[in-house]
Amino acid sequence: MNISASNIILHSLSYNPEGILQCKMREGELPISASIDEFLTKLHRTYQSKTNKAFASFGDKTDKSPLFREALTDYMSQQLDFVRFSQKTASCLVEELQKHDFAEEGILLISKYSWTASDYLFIALLQNNHSVSVNENLELQESQHIETSKIQLVARIDLTLLARDPQSNRYISFIKGRAGRKVSDFFLDFMGAQEGFDAKEQNQGLMKAVDEFCENQALPVAKKKEVREVAFEYCNEQLKQGDDIELSVLSEQLQDSPKLEGSFYDFVSEDYQLENSFPVDRSVVRKLTKYVGQGGGISISFDQKHLGERIFYDANSDTLTIQGIPPNLREQLKRDNFADDNQKDDQNPPF
């Protein structure tokens, strides 16, 4: 599903010879066209596919960096037009960057678009990469392009959710650094926002709840697999549609399909600190129907339905036996095994 863009503007951040960060601002929006929609859709899809997103909300109005929030409030109340709002946003970002040692520069993209019945404000600092191509005269020429498949410095605000529920802790999302405080965190600082709940943690809690619910219900192995498959199909469908996991809806589906007696919703409401709804984390929910593990140079992943059919685990010897390995892996093993056999023959000639 493509997005529908209503506004987009670009500003340029760069350092002058004296090492001072400057911002070259546009004075007008880019006209919306099919190519603009396609470009923003690519950025949107890349952002949606990121598994290390975190969520946030604005802090108290007494916070030290409320300028962006004030500008956004004025924009949402139509006291600022989009161009002026974007320029104030660029100034806030430059001011925040000047407080740090981050040598960040690039193209600041600010856009408003609609997707799945919600309006979003998308703010990204993109890299303008150089490339070399060959023209029709077979001459080399340099050009610049924005890499849409690799974005890290991004924040997105769900304007619809913010207007409907200002007390929510998740109307801002951003790409979070994988370890410690990363350069991307300054997006929170310049917006005057504070991190809310952790979507990955919520998904991990859900996975734990599904397993413990099955244990609590004393389900046989076949029924447990069915529960996990139904939960995965629901989560995967929500991910495709761009919708959140709704615990009440998931509970209804578990009672309809596997025909369970107990209520999953009642079960998680007692001991699990889960939101009633939260975004799907693909990297977590896929473990509902897969066994995944890695370490010591070995990485193994297979569908749970194969355990006991094509794949057998012996706990006493701590071994896996696989019957019917993937064809491409089989060919690699045969090729390397043949090479090893030839090497042995060379080392031990028959005469």
User: 261-312: per-residue pLDDT in tens?
Assistant: 788 999 988 888 888 888 888 888 888 888 888 888 888 888 888 888 888 9
Q: Would residue 330 count as lying in a domain?
A: yes
Q: Would residue 293 count as lying in a domain?
A: no
Q: How far apart are CA 21 and CA 218, in angstroms?
A: 63
Q: Would residue 296 count as lying in a domain?
A: no
Q: Would residue 297 count as lying in a domain?
A: no
Is 212 in the same domain as 105? no
Is 313 in the same domain as 337? yes
Q: Would residue 118 count as lying in a domain?
A: yes
Is 190 in the same domain as 123? yes
Q: In what order do the strands lie in the sheet with 154-158?
A: 21-25, 4-15, 106-115, 118-126, 154-158, 172-175, 53-58, 193-195
121-155 confidence digits (pLDDT tens): 999 999 877 677 787 877 787 766 677 777 878 99
What is the radius of gyration, based on Cα positions, of the chain?
A: 26
Is 217 in the same domain as 319? no
47-101 confidence digits (pLDDT tens): 888 877 888 999 765 455 578 999 999 999 999 999 999 999 999 998 888 877 6
What b/e readout covers 165-177, taking b as 16+ CB neighbours within 10 angstroms? eeeeebbbbbbbe
Q: Which domain holds residue 326?
A: 308-347
Is 191 in the same domain as 206? no
Number of structural domains, the chain? Answer: 3
Q: Would residue 328 count as lying in a domain?
A: yes
Q: Would residue 299 count as lying in a domain?
A: no
The pLDDT value recorded for residue 80 is: 95
Is 206 in the same domain as 314? no
Is 111 in the same domain as 228? no
Is 66 in the same domain as 181? yes
Last residue of a domain, one of 196, 217, 242: 196
Q: What is the pTM of this model?
A: 0.73
Q: Would residue 147 count as lying in a domain?
A: yes
Q: How far apart are CA 328 and CA 346, in angstroms?
A: 28
Among candidates 111, 115, 147, 151, which has minimal Cα distance to 129?
147
| CA 112 vs CA 122, 125, 220: distances in Å | 6, 15, 50
Is 245 in the same domain as 143? no
Last residue of a domain, one of 162, 196, 230: 196
- Six token digits for residue 283: 């990297």
187-239 confidence digits (pLDDT tens): 888 888 888 878 888 999 999 999 999 888 888 888 888 888 999 999 988 88
Last residue of a domain, one of 176, 196, 216: 196
Is 142 in the same domain as 40? yes
Is 165 in the same domain as 242? no
Is 15 in the same domain as 131? yes
